[in-house]
Structure 1
Amino acid sequence: MSKTIFITGASRGLGKIWAEAFLDRGDKVIVTSRNISALQDFVEKYGEAVLPLELDIADRAACFEAISKAKLHFGKIDVVINNAGIGVFGTVEELDEQASRAIFEANFFGTLWITQAVLPILREQGQGHILQVSSAMGIYSFPTVGLYSASKFAVEGLSEALSQEVKGMGIHITLVEPNGYATDFNSSSVQSNSIPAYDSMKAELYAHPEFTADDAYGNPKATPEAILKVVDSSTPPLRLFLGKKAFPLAKYFYSDRLANWENWNDVSAKAHG
């Protein structure tokens, strides 16, 4: 049986690739973008199987309206993929107020508004699946991506709590955590105003093999199989890495955190009183 999928940020990158994969197999898809003309090729290729909607995910009222239009048009929503978001690169000291607020409006609040808008529909249906596109940077962080990571860490905390709140309602939550992929994400991200004091640190960081190796970035066209498998699963995971780079790094960072907590546990326990 075909599914009805709602995908934000579907005009390019992973969102577009996933939308095409769903449509190619016969699903109905609602695709959104801030620029609706960027969605015209979906209509030309897939006709009535696709509903394009213009949407600024930072606008809460617009998010609720988009979800309402989608439900009215197709009669149901089985899966929501909160994919839309923006990136910003810069050290913590370099980040300006405008970029700092904008990234949380898009990456965190946009995810929250769409989630809040669709939950009543999924509860009424007694089933549904929300995929929150987080990032491997929502599990650990590197220099120059602190603000981006902060927005994704927030999505992780929100969604982990949500998964427990809706557990008995037939609603599944999955955090999708891609490592770096060869999309236009980096080139389309906001770049902070540079402070020379950090130049040498940045040069050393970006010369690291993790960023320069031939396989440093995954192939985005290899991702649909994983997304389709998760969406079709009756027992989908709460968290799913995309790519082969994220898991080894997560193991490294979390082993370090566990060792740190263990080393300081006596101090922590005494602070309990």
Structure 2
Amino acid sequence: MAKTIFITGASRGFGKLWAEALLHRGDKVIATARDLSALDDLVSKYGENILPLQLDVNDRAADIAAINKAKEHFGSIDVLINNAGYGLFGSIEETTEKEAREQMETNFFGLLWLTQAVLPIMREQGYGHIIQVSSVLGLVTLPVLGLYNASKFAVEGLSETLATEVKGFGINITLIEPNGFATDWAGASSAQTVAMPEYDAVRAAFQSGLTNDIFGVPEATTPAVLKLIDSETPPLRLFLGKMAHPWVKQTYEGRFAEWGSWDEVASAAHGK
């Protein structure tokens, strides 16, 4: 059965790939982008099954208006995919206030505003699925991506909490947590701080670890996303790629070992 799916950041990368796959199989798609010309090929090919909307997710009023327009146009919104976002590269000390706020505005607050906007519609329907495109970097961290890490950690906490609040309304929440993929996320879609020479060694170490074999093939994610959308019991979290699970497992084993080594001190701090 065809579904109606609202997806942000559909001009390139995962968003464009997934939007086209959904349209190809007969779903109706509301695709948002800052530059609507990037969606002209999909509009030409899929006609009335796609509703292209120009949207800057940082604009809360525009987010609400876009969700309402989508509902009015297609009659329902079965799935919201919060995909819009970008990576800010640079050490934490280098990051300006403007850069930090803009990273959080897009990756966290834009996602929050759209989530809030769609919830009344999904509650009224009695069903819905909100898919938040997080990252493996919402669970573990890398240097020179501190603000990006922070934005995705925030998305994780928000969405896990939301899942407990809306389950009774028939609404499912899923966090997609990709590892690195060969999109332009680290290229044209990214932003860079002004480099301080004191962090040159940190940057060099980071770059040395970026070998081609760790990056997945973006097109290979599509079957997993379609299966997720079709699932009657979708998971709260879904890794994409083979690198994420072992990395997170290793990191959390280290965390538990450290917590355990300080457990006596921690328990004594309870006071009774």
Give the TM-score taking structure 2 as reference length.
0.98
Structure 2 residue 168 is matched with structure 1 residue 171: no
- Partner of residue 227, structure 2: 229
Give the distance between the partners of 2:205 and 2:125, measured in 1 at CA.
52
- Partner of residue 37, structure 1: 37
Structure 1 segments unaligned to the other structure (5+ residues): none
- Partner of residue 216, structure 1: 214
Give the distance between the partners of 2:163 and 2:131, measured in 1 at CA.
11
Alignment of 1:151-170 (within 5 A): 151-170=151-170
- Partner of residue 260, structure 2: 262
> What letter is aligned with 2:269?
A
> What letter is aligned with 1:247?
H
Give the distance between the partners of 1:129 and 1:61, measured in 2 at CA.
22
- Partner of residue 89, structure 1: 89
Give the distance between the partners of 1:194 and 1:104, measured in 2 at CA.
20
Give the distance between the partners of 1:21 and 1:80, measured in 2 at CA.
15
> What letter is aligned with 1:169?
F
Tell me the CA shift for residue 161 of structure 1.
Answer: 0.2
- Partner of residue 207, structure 2: 206
Give the distance between the partners of 1:10 and 1:65, measured in 2 at CA.
18
> What letter is aligned with 2:222?
P
* 1:245-266 deviation per Cα after TM superposition (whole angstroms, max 9, x unaligned): 1111000110011111111111
- Partner of residue 47, structure 1: 47
> What letter is aligned with 1:61?
A
Structure 2 residue 186 is matched with structure 1 residue 186: yes
- Partner of residue 196, structure 1: 197
> What letter is aligned with 1:258?
F
> What letter is aligned with 2:177?
E
Give the distance between the partners of 2:215 and 2:228, measured in 1 at CA.
22
Tell me the CA shift for residue 185 of structure 1.
Answer: 0.7
User: RMSD between aligned alpha carbons?
Assistant: 0.8
* 1:111-137 deviation per Cα after TM superposition (whole angstroms, max 9, x unaligned): 000000000000000000000000010
> What letter is aligned with 2:137?
M
> What letter is aligned with 1:125?
Q
Give the distance between the partners of 1:205 and 1:20, measured in 2 at CA.
34
Tell me the CA shift for residue 205 of structure 1.
Answer: 2.5
Give the distance between the partners of 1:200 and 1:76, measured in 2 at CA.
52
Structure 2 segments unaligned to the other structure (5+ residues): none
Alignment of 1:127-166 (within 5 A): 127-166=127-166
Tell me the CA shift for residue 78 of structure 1.
Answer: 0.3
- Partner of residue 19, structure 1: 19
Alignment of 1:62-81 (within 5 A): 62-81=62-81
The percent identity for this pair of structures is 61
Tell me the CA shift for residue 36 of structure 1.
Answer: 1.6
Tell me the CA shift for residue 167 of structure 1.
Answer: 1.1
Structure 2 residue 269 is matched with structure 1 residue 271: yes
Alignment length, in residue pairs? 270
* 1:131-184 deviation per Cα after TM superposition (whole angstroms, max 9, x unaligned): 000001001001101110100000000000000001111100000001111111
* 1:166-210 deviation per Cα after TM superposition (whole angstroms, max 9, x unaligned): 1111100000001111111111211111111111122123213xx
Give the distance between the partners of 1:159 and 1:250, measured in 2 at CA.
19
Tell me the CA shift for residue 236 of structure 1.
Answer: 0.4
> What letter is aligned with 1:15?
G
- Partner of residue 28, structure 2: 28
Give the distance between the partners of 1:241 and 1:255, measured in 2 at CA.
18
* 1:14-69 deviation per Cα after TM superposition (whole angstroms, max 9, x unaligned): 00000001000000000001112222211111000000000010000000000000
- Structure 1 residue runs of 4 or more that deviate by more than 4 Å after TM superposition: none
